[in-house]
């Protein structure tokens, strides 16, 4: 595992520290390149981090953000990851240019072309990519049991529709190459169960059986797992 593991006192310590570090990273990217880009996680774990980040001082009008994945639901659905982002970070920093993955098409398969086009606003490496992890080792919507996993394992498309028999809702996910094309990669997890999954993922085994392995093994030098009890 090239990725480093960082252990925090509790979920709030993780959220606040990661928010401080992310604000510094975004400000440095803006100073160096005039803009900053990031891909943010869905699920429940990231909300404290997203809320804390919204309290930091960043020239948000120079930041473009998207999600690493989203359920294929209208943005006002409470189970939409875009809805969570709008209720946390975007509520505090509305100047961020947000690129949603949901396009309004009836299915994610029908939305792939429009989503790919929308993601051109984020061409080039993300300055930051943060993902959660499921207890099956999935990241974004790269589910080990998804029939379409192989199609999302290779590019060049930046996004792919994804359906899993065990995950709620059809989804759109960033593909593995798009997730890996990031200056900093953070896997954000909490709790004992996910720590045990991480230890399993750090062991030998095929990447597609636990997709987090691909980030741990192929992420760049600035790849980390941030964990709190
Ligand atoms: O839309 C989702 O839920 C994401 O696809 C998923 O990858 C999530 O990040 C992990 O399953 C962790 O979810 P929790 O943070 O809610 O445990």
ipTM of the complex: 0.97
With the most atoms of ligand 1 within 8 angstroms of its CB, the residue from 132, 179, 212 to mutate is: 132
For 129, the domain range is 4-228
Distance 34 CA to ligand 1 centre (A): 31
Q: What pTM did the predictor assign?
A: 0.98
Note the pLDDT tens digit of each residue in 84-118: 999 999 999 999 999 999 999 999 999 999 999 99
Residue 65 burial (CB count, 10 A) = 23
Task: Let me know if 84 is exposed, middle or buried by CB neighbors in 10 A (0-12, 13-18, 19+).
Answer: buried
**CATH number, domain at 87?**
3.40.50.1360
The total domain count for the chain is: 1
Low-confidence ranges of the chain (pLDDT < 50): none
Note the pLDDT tens digit of each residue in 56-83: 999 999 999 999 999 999 999 999 999 9
Which helix (H) or strand (E) covers residue 226, if one does? strand 223-228
Report d(CA 17, CA 145) in Å as an integer.
Answer: 34
With the most atoms of ligand 1 within 8 angstroms of its CB, the residue from 11, 42, 186 to mutate is: 42
């Amino acid at each position: 595992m090239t990725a480093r593991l960082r252990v925090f006192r509790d979920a709030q310590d993780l959220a606040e520290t990661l928010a401080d570090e992310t604000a510094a990273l975004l400000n440095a990217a803006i100073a160096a390149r005039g803009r900053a880009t990031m891909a943010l996680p869905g699920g429940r774990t990231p909300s404290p981090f997203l809320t804390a980040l919204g309290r930091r001082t960043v020239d948000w009008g120079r930041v473009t953000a998207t999600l690493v994945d989203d359920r294929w639901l209208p943005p006002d659905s409470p189970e939409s990851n875009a809805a969570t982002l709008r209720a946390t970070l975007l509520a505090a920093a509305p100047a961020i240019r947000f690129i949603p993955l949901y396009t309004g098409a009836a299915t994610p398969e029908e939305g792939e072309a429009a989503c790919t086009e929308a993601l051109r606003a984020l061409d080039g490496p993300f300055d930051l990519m943060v993902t959660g992890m499921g207890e099956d080792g999935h990241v974004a919507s790269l589910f080990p049991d998804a029939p379409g996993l192989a199609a999302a394992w290779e590019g060049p498309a930046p996004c792919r529709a994804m359906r899993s028999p065990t995950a709620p809702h059809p989804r759109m996910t960033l593909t593995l190459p798009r997730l890996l094309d990031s200056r900093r990669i953070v896997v954000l997890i909490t709790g004992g169960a996910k720590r045990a999954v991480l230890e399993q993922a750090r062991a030998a085994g095929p990447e597609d059986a636990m997709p987090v392995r691909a980030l741990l093994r192929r992420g760049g030098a600035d790849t980390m797992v941030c964990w709190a009890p």
